[in-house]
Structure 1
Amino acid sequence: MEHKGLDAQGFIEREGSLGAVGPEFRPVVALARSRIGEAYGRRLHSAYLYGSVPRGTARPGRSDLDLLLALHEEPTGTDRGTAGELAQELDAHDPAVDGVGILLFGKERLLSDAERYDLGWFLACLCTPLLGADLAEHLPRYRPDERLARETNGDLAGMLPRWRDQVAEAAGPAEYRTLARRYARHLVRTGLTLVMPRWGGWTSDLDRSAEVFGRYYPERAGQLREAAAVALDPVADPAVLHGYTEDLGPWLAAEYARVLGVKAARG
């Protein structure tokens, strides 16, 4: 029987664990735990890992380290500056990681009704506790239904103008690669959540996401497979980015709106 990332009751299983972190990444994870506590002190409620590192699928020298920090209050400009400096420090410290990303949110936002099926789901199902009390204990269980699909990725149309501006402003191969990886990941995951209610499951594996998507949209399957490959091995090709912003992205956004509707506006 095909595994669909659900428990016996049909809820999405939480991904990742500290025990799954590969030996090459354990030193930088330990450093992150120490430095986050030092940098934010009592302002920090909790910290989490997400992505390939806690799933145990990260590749040394090719994968990035992704962190989410929940603060007791809404982040300030100083908090964001600290996160940027910390990300640079961790990235420079260990060649095992290829980039460090740190998301910052206030705990009230993460637990709010407005974010229950977006950031709340993300934390409860895709984040691995690293420091502090786990906010997932205050969140519900989630099924791979239409509401979750709409509230997680039903805002692609609103992102595309910003993507186009970022591509136009990109200065050279390094920035092209960064954007290619970011956009490709987002498009593959949007493709997966588009079909998630029909498939009845969840996966963060990009290749499998593209394969599942292709069962329902064979005419676009090749594009999503290629995007999954770019997400893992980004390219510095403006033509690839143009294809995301002018073809695959607009089509996905329109199909999402047709099938699932659009994400509720945030206040």
Structure 2
Amino acid sequence: MYKAKPRSGLLAEVDRNAPLQREYVEPIAAAVRQIRGVLGDTIHSLYISGDVAQRSAGDRADLELTLVTFRSLNVQEFTSLNTVRWRLEQSSDAVKRVEFDVVPLKDVTTLANIFHWGFFIKHCALCVSGDNLADSFGHFEVSWEVSKAMNGDLSVKLRELRQKIAVATKWGTQLDAAEDAAKRLIRAAFGLVAHKEGRWDQDLKDCAESFLKHYPDKSVEMERLFYLIERKPVKKRAVVALMDAFGGWVQSEYASIDRKIG
């Protein structure tokens, strides 16, 4: 859910005034209380993103939280956050998983990261506590630089998820990692065409539709990725093969487009 665009070509912010979905009001409030409780003045501001921020979540959804801190956290503080994560996941039927992304304030505000953190805070996140850094950034247009920055960690994330799948001994763990990988790959694929489409989609089906307009030969891969999102059991070998093949292709396509544009 977005506010009206400030002017033609520029993206809108996530609507700050629309009410959150009822199922997620208390989990978000509890998250703010508990995170503030364990980190105190170390926290600059807290943001939600994903379907909950867009007010498009179903009965159950991941709660994606970005924590902007005044300094890097230590091991004890990360351990405390893991405890908070567990409590939040156990206390609400609406919350499927809690995901924390912790970033120091200096990394958010540096000019070198403006196409990632500046864009994310301004157009993909909703401040739920602290000073809203979205007010520090102007509105962005969709550009190739944004797509690159927003997907720059794809190889690292896929490698981490590949390892989780490899060592998983329970279906739930494997399905979580496979679903996460599929979502990242679909959004990264959309990043290849976002600058051509002139818009930034977050809905996975919209992302896939836009991507396939430009790469219709990848329809089978898209179908298989959505199979993983539906959390249907697939053998590890097949999941990893899909991640390696399509992930490698996406990354090579980023490099190819970057050479042409650069």
Give deviations 1:49-77, integer Å, cap 9, x for gaps.
1111121111123x111111111112222
What is residue 187 of structure 2 aligned with on the other side?
189
The answer to whether the 8 Å contact 1:184/1:227 transfers is yes
Change (3 A) 1:170 1:49: same
The answer to whether the 8 Å contact 1:118/1:152 transfers is yes
Secondary structure at 1:48 match in 2: strand
Q: Distance in 1 between matches of 2:180 and 2:253?
A: 21
The answer to whether the 8 Å contact 1:66/1:100 transfers is yes
What is residue 65 of structure 2 aligned with on the other side?
67
Change (3 A) 1:24 1:163: closer
Change (3 A) 1:199 1:141: same
Q: Distance in 2 between matches of 1:226 and 1:116?
A: 33
What is residue 234 of structure 1 aligned with on the other side?
231
What is residue 133 of structure 2 aligned with on the other side?
135
> Offset of 1:223 from its aligned partner?
2.0
Secondary structure at 1:57 match in 2: coil
Q: Which amino acid aligns with 1:52?
A: D
Q: Distance in 2 between matches of 1:64 and 1:134?
A: 22
Secondary structure at 1:102 match in 2: strand
Change (3 A) 1:156 1:43: closer
Q: Distance in 1 between matches of 2:17 and 2:73?
A: 26
Q: Which moved more, 1:244-253 or 1:210-219?
A: 244-253
What is the aligned length? 257
The answer to whether the 8 Å contact 1:154/1:253 transfers is no
> Offset of 1:46 from its aligned partner?
0.6
Give deviations 1:161-207, integer Å, cap 9, x for gaps.
44433332222211111111110110011011110111111110000
Unaligned residue ranges in structure 1 (runs of 5+): 262-267
Q: Which moved more, 1:171-180 or 1:181-190?
A: 171-180
Q: Which amino acid aligns with 2:202?
A: S
Q: Which moved more, 1:92-101 or 1:21-30?
A: 21-30
> Offset of 1:124 from its aligned partner?
1.8
Change (3 A) 1:30 1:192: same
Q: Distance in 2 between matches of 1:98 and 1:178?
A: 10
Give deviations 1:82-136, integer Å, cap 9, x for gaps.
2211111111111111111111111111111222111232122111010010112
Secondary structure at 1:128 match in 2: strand
Instruction: Provide the identity percentage.
Output: 21
* Aligned positions of 1:31-46 closer than 5 A: 31-46=30-45
Q: Distance in 1 between matches of 2:5 and 2:220?
A: 27
Is 2:46 the counterpart of 1:47? yes
Unaligned residue ranges in structure 2 (runs of 5+): none
> Offset of 1:16 from its aligned partner?
4.9
Pairing partner for 1:258 from 251, 256, 259? 256
How big is the alpha-carbon RMSD for the aligned residues of Structure 1 and Structure 2? Answer: 2.3
